[in-house]
Amino acid sequence: MFKQTKTRIALAGLLALSMLPASVLAQGKEPVRVALVTSKSGGFSTMGADVANGIKFAVDEANAKGGVDGRQVILAEGDDESTPDAGRRVAEKLARDGHNLIIGPITSSISLAISQNLSRWDAAFIGTISKADKLTADACNARFVRTNHSDAMDLAMINEWVKGLEGKTFGIMAADYVWGQDSAKSFEAAVTAQGKKVAIKLFVPLGTKDYAPYIQQLKAANVDAIWVADVSGAIAFVKQAADFALIPKTPLIGHALLSNFVVNATGTALTNVPGNVGFTPDIDTPQTKAFVSAFKAKYNRLPSDTEGQAYNGAMVLFQGVTLAKSVQPEAVTKALRGATVDTLYGKATVRAADNQLVIPNYVARVKTADGGLRPVIERSYPATVTPAASPLCKM
């Protein structure tokens, strides 16, 4: 009788537990404490707003489904002010406060400042935007996982793409920091390998507002097209390039230029401009279709490229927690290393040699689609074009 009574009590308890909302059940395990470190101020604040929106969408979606591995996701935010020093300070504060799963920085210089301190802070870092090869080469870190395309991945694609580029002489205008310098070097190597020529290279300091001196030099160079790799100053440059009649006479080619926020802010100036893109709603996978549908239902618009890449990074982070069955930073990144995960690009592998997510890459062109002007995928390149991991990475 006593055993039967105990059994009935246990069954009743299980029944009651099963009737609780998923959000309540998620309270039973240690929560997933995420640090959203991105640019709320400074030159990258517009992109920062999109990064935050994409990650918050992923967090809200996960919590509405009962959390991650039965754990509630708790988000804490910090402003990196678009500078490495501020990014390092705010990341350290959040990590030491217990939010030690970091996501959200935009520039490679900020990401590098954070990545080199992860062990000291007992933190992990999911990179969703920064492209510099250094992050997965000589500065690689077992606690850092990159879920977006690296410069090396873009270069591998560009090497194929430039074979069909019209023109023989090119100009380069790039931001004067690690990503812009890498981009310029990559493009020059790609076109010269095809027997083409780079006639002029200009590097623009962060914070530049007046692009007139650079535009005059580009006009005087009389090149066939200009490779542009300058995110923070892209809006000002494109507007002034149109005002000074540099474009559309001289075509632009963009490296991260075709971000939705740049297209939206420059009227029709970027119409028909090609360039690489990290994400668009055109990606034909079940994961992207589900994300776009849910996002559109909530916001009545399509997600931007930055929102998509940020959401994708959060997807991978949450799967790391599930695979590790832990929220400990080292355990999460260790579980992701070499793992095959669901992404907006389909099933993809986090390469064990350098923690780089290996995904397809895309060239788009700015066109009218879905009632507005946006980058539309023109050509896709399979993940197999991704170059091997850098031998400089020692993890």
Report whether pLDDT(3) > 60.
Answer: no
The residues, any chain, with a CB within 8 Å of residue 372's CB and separated by 6 or more, are none
Does the domain made of 23-149+282-359 have the CATH classification 3.40.50.2300? Answer: yes
- Report the percentage of the chain scoring pLDDT > 70: 93
Where does CATH 3.40.50.2300 sit in the chain?
A: 23-149+282-359, 153-277
Would you say 254 and 285 are in contact if contact means Cβ atoms under 8 Å apart?
no
The residues, any chain, with a CB within 8 Å of residue 340's CB and separated by 6 or more, are 347, 348, 349, 350
Report whether pLDDT(145) > 70.
Answer: yes
Residue pLDDT, tens place only, 121-139: 999 999 999 999 999 999 9
Report whether pLDDT(190) > 50.
Answer: yes
Q: So what's the pLDDT on residue 21? A: 47
Q: So what's the pLDDT on residue 256? A: 83
Would you say 339 and 131 are in contact if contact means Cβ atoms under 8 Å apart?
no
Sheet containing 101-103: give its strands across. Answer: 73-79, 32-38, 101-103, 124-127, 144-146
Q: So what's the pLDDT on residue 383? A: 96
How far, in Å, are 194, 344, 375, 378 from residue 161 at the CA level? 11, 23, 17, 11
Distance from CA of residue 144 to its chain's centroid?
A: 14
Average pLDDT, rounded, for the chain: 92
CATH number of 153-277: 3.40.50.2300
Would you say 302 and 370 are in contact if contact means Cβ atoms under 8 Å apart?
yes
Report whether pLDDT(173) > 70.
Answer: yes
Residue pLDDT, tens place only, 62-95: 999 999 999 999 999 999 999 999 999 999 999 9
168: exposed, middle or buried (Cβ count in 10 Å: 0-12, 13-18, 19+):
middle
Confidence of residue 27 (pLDDT cuts 50, 70, 90): low
4: exposed, middle or buried (Cβ count in 10 Å: 0-12, 13-18, 19+):
exposed
Q: So what's the pLDDT on residue 109? A: 93
Report whether pLDDT(164) > 90.
Answer: no
Residue pLDDT, tens place only, 235-276: 999 999 999 999 999 999 988 899 999 999 999 999 999 999
Distance from CA of residue 252 to its chain's centroid?
A: 22
Report whether pLDDT(115) > 70.
Answer: yes
Query: Mean pLDDT, to the nearest integer, of 3-26?
Result: 43
**Cα–Cα nearest to 58, from 307, 300, 306:** 307
Q: So what's the pLDDT on residue 9? A: 41
Residue pLDDT, tens place only, 305-352: 999 999 999 999 999 999 999 999 999 999 999 999 999 999 999 999
pTM, whole model, 2 decimals? Answer: 0.88
- Report the percentage of the chain scoring pLDDT > 90: 83
